[in-house]
Amino acid sequence: MERTLAIVKPDAVAKGFIGEIIKRYETNGLGIVGMKMLRLTREEAEGFYYVHRERPFFKSLVDFMSSCPVVVLALEGDGAIKKNRDLMGATDPSKAAKDTIRNLFGTNIERNAVHGSDSKDSAAFEIAYFFNRLEMIR
């Protein structure tokens, strides 16, 4: 079993897609072991996306991620990291495969509906960023 971190981003929360997105995790072998709704401060969004701090899109991304509430999930399943990346689709919704979450619910390359950890190291960092031991069911 492996764990990964997912975020339903502000665009998808605002459009009312929380349920549709979570249904895709639950029906594709990704069990929910932690979940919370919160609004990130600018500082919290900057810390989460620290690896991207030198990228040209960083400031806009931080503005977006701290603009509205998000839903953060710790997901567990066999090969959970890759499974979630496959369910999400490519970063740019217009290039994401048909029926992926970003293809269905994303707006553009920034407002792309969901986040998913991209490696074991980032999953460990990202889950610990949002959840302590008592906030997960196991």
Contacting positions for ligand UDP (CB under 6 A): 52, 57, 61, 91, 109-110, 112, 115, 118
Distance from C-alpha of 7 to C-alpha of 70, rounded to nearest angstrom = 7
Nearer to Mg ion, 103 or 117 (CB): 117
Residue 118 in contact with Mg ion, rule: CB under 5 A? yes
52 neighbors 69 (Cβ within 8 angstroms): no
Contact string (CB under 5 A) for Mg ion, positions 70-109, x = contact: ----------------------------------------
Find the shortest distance in angstroms from Cβ 131 to ligand UDP.
19
Closest CA to 116 of 74, 58, 78, 77: 74
Q: What is the DSSP letter of 17?
A: -
Cβ-based neighbour number of residue 55 at 10 Å: 11
User: Which of the residues are catalytic?
Assistant: 115
Binding residues vs Mg ion (CB under 5 A): 118
